[in-house]
Amino acid sequence: MRPATLEDLGLAGAISSAATEIAAEVGWAIEEEIGEVRPFRPDAEAALYRALVEALLNAKRHADARKVTVKLQQDEAYLEIVVTDDGQGFASEQWGQAAAKPGHFGLLGMRERISLLGGVCKIASKPGEGTTVRITVPRDRISYRRSPPDPRASPGCRPARDNAGRSGCRGAPSRRR
């Protein structure tokens, strides 16, 4: 199920809203570097949003942080989300290999969601140095195969342009007998 906030705000707005809301609950200073991104497939946006929220909730539950930074950026090939906190951190074996605790599936769930999109979710943390969650997904794996659907289109509506170049709906095709 797609979160309503994605429908209302798009991916960038939903990420900003979640970060601001959770920061206000906890009392973090929040720094956002959120660039605009074009629409992606709804299932991909939902997975990215849920992974971001899980990263923020993990920081809320475990980090004892004062400041959290959220970044959303893209280039021609990749979309990247980075969540960094200045909290207590934890011992991870190496970059990207933080193990989930028994009975806790937050990190594992984030990784699975992102791997289904062809991406990676890496976690870096050291005791006393905070934690960084870095989500990187190839854009071609989450993009629409064609242009995103026209939200004005409805069943039976065929997008069309008139002689002045304005777009609109031509309506359902008529049947001749």
**Residue 47, domain extent:** 4-142
By CB atoms closer than 10 A (0-12, 13-18, 19+), residue 4 is exposed
**28, part of any domain:** yes
Given a contact cutoff of 8 angstroms between Cβ atoms, the answer to whether 80 and 45 are in contact is no
**Residue 31 counted as domain residue:** yes
Inside any domain, residue 78 = yes
Could you give the number of structural domains in the chain? 1
Residue 98 counted as domain residue: yes
Within 13 A of 6's CA, how many CA atoms are on the CB side? 20
Q: Give this prediction's pTM.
A: 0.76
Q: Is residue 8 part of a domain?
A: yes
Q: How far apart are CA 90 and CA 176, in angstroms?
A: 71
Tokens (6 digits) for 30: 């929040």
Q: What is the CATH number of the domain that holds 96?
A: 3.30.565.10
Residue 80 CA to residue 75 CA, distance in Å, equals: 9
Per-residue pLDDT of the chain (177 residues), as tens digits, is 688 999 999 999 999 999 999 999 999 999 999 998 989 999 999 999 999 999 999 999 989 999 999 999 999 999 999 999 999 998 865 444 445 555 555 777 888 999 999 999 999 999 999 999 999 999 999 998 755 555 555 555 555 555 555 555 555 444 444
